[in-house]
Amino acid sequence: MLETLISSKTRIKLLLKFFLNSKATSYLRGLEAEFGDSTNAIRIELNRFEKAGMLTSFLKGNKKYFRANTDHPLYNDMHNLLLKYIGFDKIIDTVIEKLGDVKRVYVTGAFALGLDDNVIDLVFVGDLNNNYLASLVEKVEKHIPRRIRYIIFTEVEMEKNKWVEQNGNCILLWES
């Protein structure tokens, strides 16, 4: 659906990169390697987003890095639109709300890095029924064009293993 509204594939990739994870930063050549697009196409879109105030930039060495401007009035709307595009809203509505004692849910993997992927990696924290979760995930996968992979940790396991600190590339998706 997003491809119908936004015809530039490079623009969609940049939106996913910067507006799914507000901590994501990158520079032109890094984006070129990541996306496989020409630097000119990426530069044009970066300049448009920066001129509109949706991206901010900073210099680090001789590289100009970009990141989402979380203070922009459209940041939250864009973030929510992308969550719906990926299918996270259906995951939340269909899976999390009906599971029981869910404390937190994290997105990891490609989406936490701001990359589009066919697989959504989730980490659930709480006391959950694994069989019930598996059946709910199976139902959700019928409604979204992606596969869902997940792991469940208790709060004690999360603290003991310092999972979040060790896996900095994660986004807190939901918290009770």
pLDDT in tens, 3-54: 666 767 888 888 888 888 788 899 999 999 888 888 999 999 999 999 999 9
CA angle 65, 70, 73 (to 5 degrees): 130
Rounded mean pLDDT, 148-159: 88
Banded model confidence at residue 1, pLDDT cuts 50, 70, 90: low
For the stretch 88-147, pLDDT in tens is 666 666 666 667 788 888 888 888 877 778 898 888 898 887 888 888 888 778 777 789
Contact (Cβ atoms closer than 8 angstroms) between residue 149 and residue 143: no
What integer pLDDT is reported at residue 29 of this predicted model? 92
Q: What is the pTM of this model?
A: 0.59
Average the pLDDT over 55-83 and give the result.
Answer: 91
What pLDDT shows up at residue 27?
Answer: 92
Please report the pLDDT score of residue 49 as a whole number: 93
pLDDT of 44: 93
Pair 59, 65: CB distance under 8 Å: yes
Considering only residues 69 and 142, tell me which one the structure prediction assigns the higher pLDDT: 69
Rounded Cα distance between 176 and 174, Å, is: 7
CA distance 168 to 166: 6
